[in-house]
């Protein structure tokens, strides 16, 4: 029963962490492109900023709503995979490292998304999208879009890396515990 409690705790913790990540990243990206929210995210989520006390508060709500669910997948993936460990102390340690791997990968790819968004050929992209043509700062809008897309890719790549780490740790512990005939 303790193993499943740890699994459930991991899922809940990852949902909270993903939501907080979304809040923080949306506050940063709102600073880069408020139009990304006023012209795209607020209408997408049917959010009226005045109901939340302004654009920044509405961006906080969107940040949580748009990301908490990734924590559900990440927490379930790491939590259920973590059940392969018998020892509770080792299980917790390895699952914490796996979650950290996901967080670092997500942050790293978000930063890569920012630089990729800055470096791409923006003129081509602007010509092919009607919404972007009507914006005051289309380059910033595109950059923020890349940050968000790459962060999602980073989260799921990080999940793959985190689960791989857990299996690697289990394989190492099995190898160390094996008794070899000499």
What are the start-end ranges of the H helices in 33-137? Answer: 34-35, 42-44, 55-81, 88-119, 122-127, 130-133
Cα separation, 15 vs 118, in Å, equals: 30
**Rounded mean pLDDT, 2-6:** 80
Q: Tell whether the model's pLDDT for residue 178 goes beyond 60.
A: no
Q: How remote is the C-alpha of 147 from its chain's centroid?
A: 11
Burial class of residue 154 (count of CB atoms within 10 Å of its CB; 0-12, 13-18, 19+): buried
Torsion angles phi and psi, residue 45, rounded to 5 = -95, 5
pTM (predicted TM-score): 0.87
pLDDT tens-digit map of 57-72: 999 999 999 999 999 9
pLDDT tens-digit map of 133-169: 677 888 888 899 999 999 999 999 999 999 999 999 9
Other CB atoms closer than 10 Å to residue 166's CB: what's the count?
Answer: 23
Residue 83 DSSP label:
G
Q: Is residue 117 within 8 Å of residue 146, measured between CB atoms?
A: yes
pLDDT at res. 57: 96
Q: Tell whether the model's pLDDT for residue 174 goes beyond 90.
A: no
pLDDT tens-digit map of 14-54: 999 999 999 999 999 999 999 999 999 999 999 999 999 99
pLDDT tens-digit map of 101-137: 999 999 999 999 999 888 875 655 555 566 666 778 8
Q: Say whether 153 sits in a helix, a strand or coil.
A: helix
Q: Is residue 62 within 8 Å of residue 42, measured between CB atoms?
A: yes
| Lowest-pLDDT choice from 83-87, 89-93, 176-180 | 176-180
């Amino acid at each position: 029963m303790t193993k499943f409690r740890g699994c459930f705790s991991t899922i809940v913790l990852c949902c909270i962490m993903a939501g907080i990540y979304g809040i923080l990243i949306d506050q940063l990206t709102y600073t880069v492109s408020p139009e990304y929210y006023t012209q795209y995210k607020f209408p997408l989520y049917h959010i009226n900023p005045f109901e939340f006390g302004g654009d920044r508060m509405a961006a906080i709500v969107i940040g949580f709503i748009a990301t908490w669910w990734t924590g559900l997948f990440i927490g379930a993936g790491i939590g259920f995979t973590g059940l392969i460990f018998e020892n509770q102390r080792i299980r917790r340690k390895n699952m914490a490292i796996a979650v950290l791997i996901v967080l670092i990968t997500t942050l790293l790819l978000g930063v890569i998304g920012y630089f990729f968004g800055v470096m791409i050929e923006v003129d081509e992209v602007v010509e092919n999208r009607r919404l972007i043509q009507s914006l005051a700062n289309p380059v910033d809008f595109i950059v923020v879009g890349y940050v968000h897309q790459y962060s999602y890719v980073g989260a799921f790549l990080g999940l793959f890396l985190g689960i791989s780490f857990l299996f690697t740790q289990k394989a190492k512990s099995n190898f160390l515990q094996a008794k070899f005939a000499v």
